[in-house]
Structure 1
Amino acid sequence: MHRTAHRPATVQAHRDKVRRLLSPLAARVEIVPLREALGRGLAADVTAPLDLPPFANSQMDGFAIRSADIPVGGAELRVTAPVPAGAEPAALAFGSAAPIMTGAMIPAGADAVVPIEQAVPDSFPPPGAAATVRLPAAPAGNFVRDAGSDIAAGEPALAAGSFLGPGQLGLLAALGLTEVPVHVQPRVLLVTTGDEVVEPGRPLQPGKIYDANGTLLDSALRQAGLQVTRTGISADDPAELELLLRAHAPDVDLIVTTGGVSKGAYEVVRQALAGHDVEFGAVAMQPGGPQGIGSLDGVPVLGFPGNPVSCLVSFEMFLRPVLADLFGSPAPRTTVRARLAEAVSSPENKHQVRRGTLSPDGTVRLEGGAGSHLVHALARANALVHIPAGTAALAAGDEVEVWML
């Protein structure tokens, strides 16, 4: 049944509640080709099936040698057949040096490489020509990449929950893998509410505003790897909204609404979900205090506030970090410490999230005020600036936690 929370929850408590709500979705796994796994979250540990590199190879163009063949003052060695990359060379005879290319396999018997720049002459002889080369002494292992020096067979390659970017997928390909287990991407129904909200491109009548939330949240959700269904703007009719939500519920894994969750007289989301297991209450956060959470016909529901900045801050504070934790995607926001470029005040009993621009010198300048309607300031910002509960004021130069956007 519909419930109202009376005491504001902490940010962490509400985030934990969102995590519990969505955690059953993390059990769903599918196997996809590497090319389709970009931006997904790894669903199982991966162990290296082979050594990387799989054989000792040269780090430089040069001459493969047996280090014991060259005394401290250098030596003249007979040049043998060259070793190109991709070939399996013959064993290296005593007192000889093999021209070797970067990445080529170290011949049996060789244990070091002397770069071509240190050779006299400092060029490779024509293939098949009888030649000698003078080389300086080199220690065993000189410019040699040992087998397994990157990762050895049987070692952990990637942990479950890893975000699969180009580097991670490159590693899996280097290990010879062609497919990978990933978490199934949740399907989300996004519903924007409000009689006052108009789709961009239509005439704007007095008292109306264009819908920013639909585009704002749709972009954020898709950027986070979710599959999004949008219904357009829902009018302030609770019965119609309930029918719309129940019609789409069987086809999605999560319902996200914007607007209609406060304590006003026309809070359509609260009214539409009055007969369902959804709780509406406050979180000690500014902006984004009013929140809804629960389920409709077994489908998780998150109700975000209607002001655009409140809406995005709610996503960033509650949904995005839970997705990163449960599904490995999207990648967590980069967190840094920065110095405030100016003094700031904050409600002492709330966690305030301000928009800011982090400069290369490590200072962060706040963009706009604390208002939840300042979309222009949000668009200028490259970071979220956190002022935790219990802090009423900070001075210029004080350190704050910053999440990079």
Structure 2
Amino acid sequence: MAVPRSIAEHVAFVTSLVSPLPARSMPPETGFALAVDAVARLAVPPFDNSAMDGFLAHRADLPGELRVVADVPAGGHPVRLGPGEAARIMTGAPIGPDGDCVIPVEDTDHPAGPGPLPATVRAPAFSGRSHIRPRGDNSSPGDVVLAAGSPIDAGALAALISAGVTEVHTHPRPRVAVISSGDELIPAGQPLAEGHIPDSNLPMLAALARANGAADVLQLHASDRDGDFRTVLDEAATAADVVVTSGGVSTGAFDVVKAVTSGHDMWFGSVAMRPGSPQGAGLWNGRPLLCLPGNPVAAFVSFHLFVAPVLRRLAGDTRPVSRVRLAGGVDTFPAAGGVTRIVPVRLTLDGEITAEPFHSRGSSHLVASLAGTDGLAVIAGGDTIDIILTRN
């Protein structure tokens, strides 16, 4: 009997089947990962500017009563200041060669808020802080704003635009085809005959693919007949960058996925985990094919462990998987029992992290208990449990 693979070994195998999709140039957009470092073209900030609402002045004139000669709003122009002069200035307004400090309005005798320009303002001694943000204080032209392999999220988008980056090289988001197989599966909403069940895996895996960065998701179903499955699989491999199947990978008499694809650059075997031990992976018509078990919880777990890393690699996303470590409450989880157990959990973040197993039994068919799960507890024995975070 073949020795089961470890989870890490199977992750290494499935990710070796793919490479990042060819890069292309495009304006910055969220949801894409960089293929090449994005380099700043502008300084951030692009000019010296005020960090406070207040009065621009010369330190040498403080403390004292200053003559107010101008207003400088955000978007305005720098002003010239002579000895004993000040300008009322707003946060973000530009500062020219004159004036070397901003006195916050609350430190003066002038009331805060809108109002006419005062003729004079009384300012205290210099506090030691200029309240001036110098040009390039955050980044300078030529600095790397976002490194290759990083995804563009909302914060990164703001950083790129502020740094004058108008074109980036990114990897496309992968196209995914999901195939459910089995004569017992009926599309959602249709009447169930005896012995049939709703096909929950197909929409679940499609939703997980979208949540993990897929651009397009093709949903297909195949019967347990070899010819039907082969036709559907060929269609999927033509349309997608990666194909994911659920069901038909164990040792049953009607395990069509294994029957059709075995011997075609494919591996089928066991991974040392529960649920989700039966797995398959390889190439079909040159496309990566990941074959997951059919039990819904096993398919859910297997997607996060094996399909999500493949999608990240295709998209060029090099971030590590997010994890937290649970030191307390370990006794509420089932014992590893000689094999790594994977338990979906709901997390509570209230000063400390607590994790609740999705169901007291943890069986792979308990799909009705998957709602609201936040992560996967990896139970391998010991006094701590690592939790892979699954919510994006």
TM-score (norm 2): 0.92
Which one of the candidate residues 93, 106, 121 is aligned to 2:95? 106
- Is residue 349 of structure 1 aligned with residue 345 of structure 2? no
- Is residue 6 of structure 1 aligned with residue 40 of structure 2? no
State the match for 1:83 in structure 2: 72
- Is residue 281 of structure 1 aligned with residue 275 of structure 2? no
- Is residue 272 of structure 1 aligned with residue 228 of structure 2? no
Equivalence map 1:4-403=2 (5 Å): 6-23=2-19, 26-34=20-28, 37-70=29-62, 74-122=63-111, 126-127=116-117, 131-139=119-127, 141-325=129-313, 327-329=315-317, 334-338=322-326, 339-340=328-329, 342-359=331-348, 360=350, 361-368=352-359, 369-388=361-380, 391=381, 398-403=383-388
Please give the per-residue CA displacement for 1:286-335, whole angstroms capped at 9, x wherever unaligned.
11111111111111111011011111111101121343355355976532
Distance 1:380 1:249 in 2: 32
Look up the equivalent residue of 1:29 and give its one-letter code.
A
Secondary structure at 1:247 match in 2: helix
Look up the equivalent residue of 1:103 and give its one-letter code.
G
Residue pair 1:38, 1:165 contacting (<8 A) in 2 also:
yes
Secondary structure at 1:82 match in 2: strand
Residue pair 1:337, 1:399 contacting (<8 A) in 2 also:
yes
Residue pair 1:43, 1:327 contacting (<8 A) in 2 also:
no
Per-residue deviation, 1:80: 1.5
Per-residue deviation, 1:86: 1.3
Residue pair 1:64, 1:107 contacting (<8 A) in 2 also:
no
Gaps of 5+ in 1: none
Residue pair 2:221, 2:232 contacting (<8 A) in 1 also:
no
Evaluate the alpha carbon distance shift between residue 277 and residue 122 of structure 1 in structure 2; reply closer, same or farther with a 3 A threshold. same
Residue pair 1:161, 1:325 contacting (<8 A) in 2 also:
no
Identity among equivalent pairs (%): 38
Gaps of 5+ in 2: none
Residue pair 1:324, 1:332 contacting (<8 A) in 2 also:
no
RMSD: 2.1
Please give the per-residue CA displacement for 1:55-77, whole angstroms capped at 9, x wherever unaligned.
1111111001111221xxx2111
Secondary structure at 2:93 match in 1: coil
Per-residue deviation, 1:101: 0.7
Evaluate the alpha carbon distance shift between residue 136 and residue 125 of structure 1 in structure 2; reply closer, same or farther with a 3 A threshold. farther
Distance 2:209 2:174 in 1: 10
Per-residue deviation, 1:373: 1.0
